[in-house]
Structure formats: C-alpha cells, structure tokens
Amino acid sequence: MADLKKLNGRPKLKEGKRTKFINVRFTEEEYKEIAGLEKALALSKTDLIRMRILSDAKKTVINSRELIKYIDSAGAEMARIGNNINQLAKHANTLRLQGALDPAIITQFNQLFDEYIQVQQKFEVSLRQIIRAMGL
C-alpha cells in the first residue's frame, strides 16, 4: 500500500502561470455592461478584460450573434434588390421585343444599375473590414 501515490489535482504549470493580480473597480453601469458582454459573448469577465486589454488594439470584441443577424438582413435585402433588377430587365426585354421601349427608360435603368453595383461593392468592402477587425 505504500506504493500508491497521492494525487494532488491538476499538474503544476511550468510556464504561463499567472501569479500577478490587478484589482480594478467599476461603476455600477460599467459593471452591468461587462456582465452583459459576459453573457452575450460567453466569456468570463476575466477573459473578456484580459482579451480587451492585451490583444491587438485593432481587434475588437464583437457580438457575433448580433453581427450575423445584421449581415443576414443586409444580404436578404441585396437579394430582393437583385430579384427586382431581374424582373425589370425581363419586362424591359419584353417591351423591346414589342418595340414599345422608350430609350429614356434604358438610360434610367442603367444609371440605377450602376448605383446598385457601387452599393454592392461598398458592402463587400465593409464586410472585409469587419472580418479584419475581428482578426480572422
């Protein structure tokens, strides 16, 4: 029985042991904000504060659920706009085959389509910036 080794829990860390302590005080509003972020991001307060302070200043803590909800709604809106453009193009082709298409309508459609393309390109740039800010 003397051969049995007593287990003392987790093995001791050789590197990366956190031995320093910083005490921080927050106002009630600040604490509620941190607690809200803790729930929304599923991180402990300690990890949240450590990540926010020690990570690259350009990286931002982002509520991914909220972000995905907004991106999804923007993508759905872009899809509706694309569907409307297709319907207008089909109608314009029908009128053209009947010889009833006014050249002013073609000019106006082309201007609106150019604006749509510019908005879509800005949207893509914004998505890339968000992804970079998240550090992905």
> Chain centroid to CA 66: how far?
8
pLDDT more than 90, % of the chain:
4
**What are the domain boundaries of the chain?**
23-55, 64-134
DSSP letter at 10?
Answer: S
Asked whether the CA dihedral 31, 35, 41, 46 is positive or negative, the reply is positive
**pLDDT at 124 > cutoff 70:** yes
Q: pLDDT by residue (tens digit) across 17-70?
A: 778 888 888 899 989 988 888 888 778 888 888 877 776 544 556 667 778 888
Q: Using alpha carbons, select from 73, 85, 89 the residue that is nearest to residue 123.
A: 73
Q: How far apart are CA 92 and CA 89, in angstroms?
A: 5
